[in-house]
């Protein structure tokens, strides 16, 4: 059974600081996604990481994937209040045309002015 673990689950940080969210998963997968969710809202796709060593950046967020270590990181640079949200990583469990996602529990990020 595929397990996805995120840490930390809660993160309170000051504006301007840097931090990293970690996502470990238990079985081989070559596809990992990061999503953002604001309270009561849907999931917004942030990054799609398709291969070992993949690195993607968008604004103050950078995501990377190490398939050998079964680890992805989401790095936040110089945090701003607008980044406050819950961030989920999700790993694909694929086979015979199925592509179900297994999600981590999410990291609730609060950026304090």
Partner 1 sequence: DSGVTQTPKHLITATGQRVTLRCSPRSGDLSVYWYQQSLDQGLQFLIQYYNGEERAKGNILERFSAQQFPDLHSELNLSSLELGDSALYFCASSSGRAWEQFFGPGTRLTVL
Question: How far is Cα 105 from Cα 60, in angstroms, rounded to an integer?
Answer: 22
CB of 51 to partner 1, least distance (A): 11
* 2 close to 100: Cβ distance less than 8 angstroms: no
Token pair in block for residue 84:
């406050």
**Within positions 73 to 102, which residues make up the interface with partner 1, using CB under 8 A?**
88, 90, 92, 94-102
Tell me: does residue 67 bind partner 1 (CB under 8 A). no
Token pair in block for residue 45:
């796709």
Tell me: does residue 1 bind partner 1 (CB under 8 A). no
**By CB under 8 A, which span of 22-30, 33-41, 53-61, 73-81 interacts with partner 1?**
33-41
b/e 30-46 (16+ beta carbons within 10 angstroms → b): ebbbbbbeeeeeeeeeb
**Within positions 43 to 62, which residues make up the interface with partner 1, using CB under 8 A?**
43-45, 48, 50
For partner 1, which residue of 21, 25, 31, 87 counts as binding (CB under 8 A)? 31
């Amino acid at each position: 059974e595929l397990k996805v673990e995120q840490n930390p689950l809660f993160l309170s940080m000051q504006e301007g600081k840097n931090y990293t969210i970690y996502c470990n998963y238990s079985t081989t997968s070559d596809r990992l996604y990061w999503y953002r969710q604001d309270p009561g809202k849907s999931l917004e796709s942030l990054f799609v990481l398709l291969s070992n060593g993949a690195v993607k950046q968008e604004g103050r967020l950078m995501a990377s994937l190490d398939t050998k270590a079964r680890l992805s990181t989401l790095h936040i640079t110089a945090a701003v209040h607008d980044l406050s949200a819950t961030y989920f990583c999700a790993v694909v469990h694929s086979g015979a045309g199925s592509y179900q996602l297994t999600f981590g529990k999410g990291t609730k990020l609060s950026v304090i002015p």
